[in-house]
Structure 1
Amino acid sequence: MNSTTMRRAGLSIAVAAALTGVAACGSSGGGDGDEKGKKKGSVALSPIAALRTIQDKTDSADSAKVEGKTVMGTKMSMDMAGSMEWSDGITGTMTATLTGGTQAEQMEQIGQSKIDYRYLKNGFYANMGDKFAEQAGGGKHWIEYDYATLADMSGAAGDAFKDQMQNTTPNQSVKMLLASGDVKRVGEETVRGAKATHYSGTVDAADFTGKNADLDAEQMAELRKQFKQVGLTTQTIDIWVDADDLLVKKAEKGKMADGDFSQTAYYSDYGTPVSVEKPPASDTMSFKDLMNQQPQA
């Protein structure tokens, strides 16, 4: 097994981690929207006012179970399920099952179609399986992806990724709608048998991500260039909220150079206990070490 294959697999792991159910570019912000809103008692709230309530309620819930599906053009499609906690940074566990795309094919080369993730405050870990451990990992199954290291290796996109992974919570989709400027209340619908209110809006992906990561002008120009290269400009954001003002579903859609991007995630069991253990150091190698491996591993 050559090192190019392993590096590509390692990158696929990082992309998949960024696309789990809570991963969404997010920032606080505001905007004007349709004044037809959700009723709270006898008072009709505007979409903006309703979303601010939803943002606060979801943020204070601290944890939830997450499951969903992501399609990233021709590169990747995957299903994911797990639980996340966000009272003090993002922690949690998630299992991603790769179901198609070129990056899934790369993972198949190392005999891995299902990836177990562990998220901690300063980075995340991915279990690469026995074949990786035997042939390239020096007997180690886990790869460590330290956020600071990833940021150093990836320029402006890395800074944005670091901020996203350390600060994203389910209510980031709500914040995206607040910042979109054109949020509207679509109406009442049913999500998995329960009544929910549907809101929708459109966001400039690069601008929103850059503002969230507090990038300077030079970094912002680089980020826009990187977004342009993958063809992602705007994203449509839809959320569904239950009677307790908690997010129960989100859907994000956008166009990419190699196809459509879409992600749908469902949130349930808010307040669920979440326990995460750091993999043992004896069974872990760093992503940086993987990328620096010699031509033949």
Structure 2
Amino acid sequence: MNTRSVRRTGISLIAIGAALAGVAACGGSDSGSSKGAPAKEQHKAGSDFSPVAALQAVQKKTDGAGSAKVEMTMSMGSVMGLQGGGALAWGDGTTGTMRMKYTQGTMAQTMRQMGAESIDARYLRDAYFANMGPQFAQSLGGKHWIRYGYDDMAKLMGPAGAVMKDQMQNSTPQQGVKALLASGDVKKVGTEDVRGVQATHYSGTVDVAKVVGGSSGLDAKTLEAFKAQMTQSGITTDTVDIWVDKDDLLVKKTERAATKNGEMNTTAFYADYGVKVSAEAPAASDTVDFTSLIKPKASQQPS
């Protein structure tokens, strides 16, 4: 593989890695609206009431918090390993900043070939921007940032890109709660310590082919959107565990899913809900659009 091919592959991997990290950290797509439980059914997560009623309260409280600091790790078969941290906000699209490092797999190998294993990412409502540092910038005419527009990704990647666009524009951490509700077999495991915080642990496994209806606490539209998203993502089963503090806020989430590219494992920790989050697009003079980098020039011969 020549230098040009490595660079184009790396640019595509940045798109996948940064998008997956943002989705994993912020919890996945929140397609459609979900109906919360009536006021009389809302209870504290740590109470003795049913897990469904308790998680409906968690869903509402976490969604309404608006932002949080996040630490996450993610792996997918032999394809990738990733760790990152930053601050993200949700509600009007996913916004915020994260720093990520590729730790293993073919993606990490390719990134090392380009002299960069870590990237800084800025998430805005219609796009995210990735900065791989000064060495990679030399191959971009001195520009440090690559812009990945969600509309462009949706067009180029087909159904997978459309799913990714939806996830990046509608993510909230409470998607993990929604997955548990959709599983139909959510269980309260017990109370555990999570980084010094006493938290109630819930667990469940979603079988996409057996996504439940009325007993989930989700309306039909939300349930169908959730099932379609999982199917398009190549996920057949998804085991979700969440830990919730006394204020009905997520403090930890793990997911283990079977995908077309191998088992995907993610872990995310949440803290400082309501933190101020700001992210601005980099200067246009220091930015290049990824669509102009992945299209081969007509004069170039295939490598």
TM range (shorter): 0.7 to 0.9
Report if aligned partners of 1:72, 1:259 keep a CA contact under 8 Å in 2. Answer: yes
Please name the residue that 2:272 is paired with: 269
Q: Structure 1: any 5+ residue segments left out of the alignment?
A: 31-36
Inter-CA distance 214–278: structure 2 relative to 1 (3 Å threshold): farther
Question: For the residues of structure 2 that align with 1:4 and 1:182, how far apart are their CA atoms?
Answer: 47
Inter-CA distance 212–19: structure 2 relative to 1 (3 Å threshold): farther
For residues 114-168 of structure 1, the C-alpha deviation after alignment (integer angstroms, 9 at most, x for no partner) is 1100000001000022222212x12211110100110111111111111100000
Report if aligned partners of 1:122, 1:146 keep a CA contact under 8 Å in 2. Answer: yes
Q: Does 1:174 align with 2:189?
A: no
Percent of aligned positions with the same letter in both sequences? Answer: 48
SS in 2 for 1:239: strand
Inter-CA distance 6–152: structure 2 relative to 1 (3 Å threshold): same
One-letter amino acid of the counterpart of residue 19, structure 1: L
Please name the residue that 1:138 is paired with: 141
Report if aligned partners of 1:22, 1:168 keep a CA contact under 8 Å in 2. Answer: yes
Report if aligned partners of 1:141, 1:283 keep a CA contact under 8 Å in 2. Answer: yes
Question: For the residues of structure 1 that align with 2:203 and 2:269, how far apart are their CA atoms?
Answer: 16
- How high is the TM-score relative to the length of structure 1? 0.85
The partner residue of 1:112 within 116, 135, 143 is: 116
- How high is the TM-score relative to the length of structure 2? 0.83
Q: Does 1:203 align with 2:177?
A: no
Inter-CA distance 214–258: structure 2 relative to 1 (3 Å threshold): closer
Question: For the residues of structure 1 that align with 2:188 and 2:88, how far apart are their CA atoms?
Answer: 28
Q: Does 1:15 align with 2:16?
A: yes
Alpha-carbon offset, residue 23 of structure 1: 4.5
Q: Structure 2: any 5+ residue segments left out of the alignment?
A: 36-40, 212-220
Report if aligned partners of 1:29, 1:178 keep a CA contact under 8 Å in 2. Answer: no
Tell me the number of residue pairs that the alignment of Structure 1 and Structure 2 aligns. 280
Q: Aligned runs of 1:146-295 on 2, under 5 Å? A: 146-204=149-207, 224=231, 227=234, 232-256=235-259, 259-294=262-297, 295=300
Report if aligned partners of 1:38, 1:44 keep a CA contact under 8 Å in 2. Answer: no
Please name the residue that 2:216 is paired with: none
Q: Aligned runs of 1:98-109 on 2, under 5 Å? A: 98-109=102-113
One-letter amino acid of the counterpart of residue 119, structure 2: I
Please name the residue that 1:96 is paired with: 100
Taking only aligned residues, the RMSD between alpha carbons, in angstroms, comes to 3.0
Report if aligned partners of 1:247, 1:267 keep a CA contact under 8 Å in 2. Answer: yes
Q: Aligned runs of 1:14-33 on 2, under 5 Å? A: 14-20=15-21, 21-27=25-31
Question: For the residues of structure 1 that align with 2:160 and 2:261, how far apart are their CA atoms?
Answer: 19
